[in-house]
């Protein structure tokens, strides 16, 4: 029995149906930004970007974006299709940020698929924490970031590596995020 209320969570398919119904001219782009090192360790990272119209896309005015990461597993869909599972999660998050909750609980960001993964015990805790990042190297990398989307992508790497709770790392990203507003 799941420890969450499945009735509160929209599926990605429900969110897509609502998008298609209300914005038939939408554009939804996905980008696999997994590095070679990510792929070697079985980690996938995807960003989805939603444009409500072709004009919005031409003017680079996205409505929202969503990020996801997935870890290869020895069973289930992640055994053979972890990248595709990751892409679906990114799309679901992107649609939720844009307000497509399929009229379920509008305050719930996760999709039904993400909560099912949590219920199976397959989440961020399954990613082994890597060695703490080199401070000077990370400070230099973050200082060179030119927009919040790129900052979000690097932050997702930090989360996936298990470093998001390190005080100086959080402060570095918060400071740079404030500078980029």
DSSP SS3 for 44: strand
Of the pLDDT bands very low, low, confident and very high (cuts 50, 70, 90), residue 112 is: low
Of the pLDDT bands very low, low, confident and very high (cuts 50, 70, 90), residue 172 is: confident
Domain boundary assignment for the chain: 1-125, 128-181
DSSP SS3 for 118: helix
Any idea which of 27-41, 68-82, 107-121 has the lowest mean pLDDT?
Answer: 107-121
pLDDT tens readout for residues 9-26:
778 888 899 899 999 999
- Whole-prediction pTM: 0.58
139: which 2 tokens?
């400070």
CATH number for the 1-125 domain, one of 3.40.1000, 3.40.50, 1.10.150, 3.30.390?
A: 3.30.390
Looking at the predicted structure, is the pLDDT value of residue 104 above 70? no
Give, in order, the Cα–Cα distances in Å from 42 to each of 76, 81, 89, 136: 15, 11, 17, 27
Distance between CA atoms of 23 and 18, rounded to whole angstroms? Answer: 8
Of the pLDDT bands very low, low, confident and very high (cuts 50, 70, 90), residue 127 is: very low
Distance between CA atoms of 31 and 7, rounded to whole angstroms? Answer: 30
Looking at the predicted structure, is the pLDDT value of residue 165 above 60? yes
Looking at the predicted structure, is the pLDDT value of residue 59 above 80? yes
């Amino acid at each position: 029995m799941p420890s969450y209320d499945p009735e509160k969570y929209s599926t990605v398919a429900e969110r897509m149906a609502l998008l298609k119904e209300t914005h038939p001219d939408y554009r939804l782009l996905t980008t696999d930004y997994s590095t070679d090192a990510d792929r070697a360790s079985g980690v996938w990272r995807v960003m989805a970007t939603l444009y409500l119209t072709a004009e919005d896309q031409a003017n680079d005015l996205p409505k929202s974006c969503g990020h996801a990461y997935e870890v290869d597993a020895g069973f289930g869909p992640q055994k053979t299709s972890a990248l595709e599972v990751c892409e679906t999660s990114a799309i679901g998050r992107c649609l939720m940020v844009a307000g497509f909750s399929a009229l379920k609980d509008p305050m719930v960001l996760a999709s039904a698929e993400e909560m099912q993964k949590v219920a199976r015990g397959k989440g961020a805790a399954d990613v082994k924490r890597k060695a703490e990042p080199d401070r000077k190297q990370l400070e230099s990398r973050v200082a060179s970031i030119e927009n919040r989307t790129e900052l979000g992508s690097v932050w997702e790497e930090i989360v996936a590596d298990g470093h998001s709770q390190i005080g100086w790392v959080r402060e570095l990203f918060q400071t740079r995020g404030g500078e980029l507003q």
